[in-house]
Structure 1
Amino acid sequence: MKQLSITPAQATDAALYQRYASVIFAYLLRQVNSREDAEDLLVDIFMAVLEKSSLASMDEQRVAAWIWTVARNKVVDYRRRSKYRVSIELAKVEDVLYESEEQAPEHMALKHEERQTLHTILQELPELQREIVHLRFGHDLTCGQIATVIDKSEAAVRMTLHRTLKLLRTLYTRNEKGGTL
């Protein structure tokens, strides 16, 4: 019986995939029109990881920042290409099945309403602020990692995040008091 041997580089690539694929995929799902497109982009991102031979010499933070930068660039490329394609949002055609009470239609409707409110408020923000919020809270990146991904200083990211959170609090307060978004 023939044994498969795995090189240290292949083991590192597999570990990177295990560590980052699920969070990158979640990010992609929010950024693109369909699950299939997100899967395709994920493959493209990790193909780039396989082709990048210098990753082994980088520290963990730089590797993570590099992977997130590639993901962001792939999304930008996708958006450029998708301007010329017609697509339908997955949420409009997706059937919802539930196994527990929390997944019952009334609970899902409340969650949907909360998400819609958040989405509406986030849409009021400039794109850079939205992206910083998504990377920080959606993907748990540090301000230093975000700075590397968006090519800004860490101090600028921290200040932008602080101002954005303050603005979000104001917008939520206004919304709860019955004001308009």
Structure 2
Amino acid sequence: MDGGFEGIYREHVTPLWRYVRVRVPCDADAEDVISEVFVAAMKSWERYDPAHGTVGAWLTGIARHGVADWWRRSGREIPVEAVADDRPATEDDPESATLRRLADDEVRAHLAVLTTRERDAVALRFGARLSSPEIGAALGISAPAARMLVYRAVGKLRKEVV
């Protein structure tokens, strides 16, 4: 493995963690999955082929499999409405932490109206901040289909929120 993997980790760990965190119940579970994702990526780094997509899309594919494996080991599908946020409130600004936690809980409750595929697309777009071509590659669909999937999911959420 070349010395550039540390830079790849630094660039991609936050968006991948946000994606995984939307898909698993708590921070500790997300941290476990992310650790497994980067271990798997390091082990298979020599096989990464830039001709097949960006590093971000490749890592997101590994993360999607990691989330699926986590749920398979847990023996259940993610209950979106029951997902709790276990981030501790910051001591320097507890009001902001409380408001953020309430907003996160509200968003998770609204996500329950989406199908699993729609939630995945929304998490990839807004959690991992992937582009439509990258979302398409991760989900095995075309970029226009990925764009439409996200658009329709956001439309469903908009109707739910309003």
Q: Shorter-chain TM-score: what band?
A: 0.7 to 0.9
* Correspondent of 2:153 among 149, 152, 164: 164
2:92 aligned residue:
99
2:29 corresponds to 1:37: yes
Listed as ranges, the matches of 1:1-181 within 5 Å are: 9-52=1-44, 53-55=46-48, 57-58=49-50, 61-83=53-75, 91=85, 96-100=89-93, 103-104=94-95, 107-173=96-162
Q: Which runs of 5+ in 1 are unaligned?
A: 1-8, 174-181
TM-score (ref. length: structure 1):
0.73
Residues 96, 28 of structure 1: alpha-carbon distance in 2 compared, 3 angstrom cutoff: same
The gaps in structure 2 that reach 5 residues or longer are: 77-82
Post-superposition shift, 1:30? Answer: 3.1
Deviation of 1:33 (Å): 3.6
8 Å Cα contact 2:85/2:105 also seen in 1: no
The percent of aligned pairs where both chains have the same amino acid is 24
The Cα shift of 1:167 comes to 2.1
AA aligned opposite 2:122: V
Equivalent-residue separation in structure 1 for 2:91 and 2:58 (angstroms): 38
Task: Report the AA paired with residue 136 of structure 1.
Answer: R
SS state at 2:4 partner = helix
SS at match of 1:157: helix
What is the Cα deviation at residue 122 of structure 1?
1.2
Using the size of structure 2 for normalisation, the TM-score is 0.80
Query: Deviation string for 1:116-140 (max 9, x for gaps)?
Result: 3322211111111111111111221
Secondary structure (helix, strand or coil) at the match of 1:124 reads coil
What's the C-alpha RMSD, in Å, of the aligned pairs? 2.7
Partners of 1:116 and 1:147 in 2: how far apart? 28
Q: Which has the higher contact order (CA 8 A, sep 6+)?
A: 2
Number of equivalent positions: 156
* 1:6 matched residue in structure 2: none
Structure of higher CA gyration radius: 1
Distance of 1:24 and 1:157 partners within structure 2: 18
Aligned residue identity for 2:19: Y
